[in-house]
Structure 1
Amino acid sequence: MKINQKRSGLRKLPPGSARILMPLILSIFMSAIVSAVATLTSIGPGTSFAAAWPGAWGASWIVAFPTLLFALPIVRRIVAMVVEQST
C-alpha cells in the first residue's frame, strides 16, 4: 500500500540519511531481540525480567549501533564479492 506523500503531509528524509537510519533501526530491533532472549535465558520470565530487560537492551544498543556503523560497509563489500551482480 503506497501512501500519497502530499495528502499525508509527511516529508521523506534525504537519501543520504539512509546510511545512518538503516543501522539505527536495525540496531534497535536486533539489540531488543537479542537482549530479550539473553535476559530470558539467564533470569527467566516474570517481574525480574521486566525490571532487568530495559537496562540490558540499552547496554546492548550502545554497542550494537556503532558496531553496525562500522561493520555494514565491510559486510556489503564481502557480499558483493560472493554474490553475482545483475546488470
Structure 2
Amino acid sequence: MPATLRLRLLFALLMSGLMSLLMTAWVTWLNLGAGAGYLAHWGRAFLAAWPAAFSVVLLLAPTVQRLSLRLLGQPRAANR
C-alpha cells in the first residue's frame, strides 16, 4: 500500500474518531445530562457516528484541504 494512502487512511481514522468521540459526548451530555446511563448512551452514539464520520473525512478531506489552500491564496502542490 502506498505511503500516501496509508497516511490518508490513518488521518481519516484518527480525525473521525476524535471528532466522533468529542461530539457524541457533548451532544449526549446536552440531551441527557451526566446521570445514570450516560456512558451507555454515549457509547451507542459513538459507535453509530464513527463509521459515518470516517467515510466523510476519507472522502472530503482532500477537497477541504484544497479549498483551504485556495482561500489562503497558496498554490496547490504539484503532486496532489
Normalised to the residue count of structure 2, the TM-score between the two structures is 0.82
Structure 1 partner of 2:78 = none
- The within-5 A match list for 1:9-20 is 15-16=3-4, 17-20=6-9
* Deviation (angstroms), 1:47: 2.1
**Structure 2 letter corresponding to 1:15:** A
Structure 2: 5+ residue stretches without partners: 76-80
Let me know the Cα RMSD of the aligned residues.
1.5
Once residues 78 and 62 of structure 1 are traced to their aligned partners in structure 2, the CA distance between those partners, rounded to angstroms, is 24
Bigger Rg, which one: 1
Structure 1: 5+ residue stretches without partners: 1-13
* Number of residue pairs the alignment of both structures matches: 73
Detail structure 1 runs of 4+ shifted over 2 Å in the superposition: none
Normalised to the residue count of structure 1, the TM-score between the two structures is 0.76
- Indicate the percent of aligned positions where both proteins have the same amino acid: 32
- The within-5 A match list for 1:1-87 is 15-16=3-4, 17-85=6-74
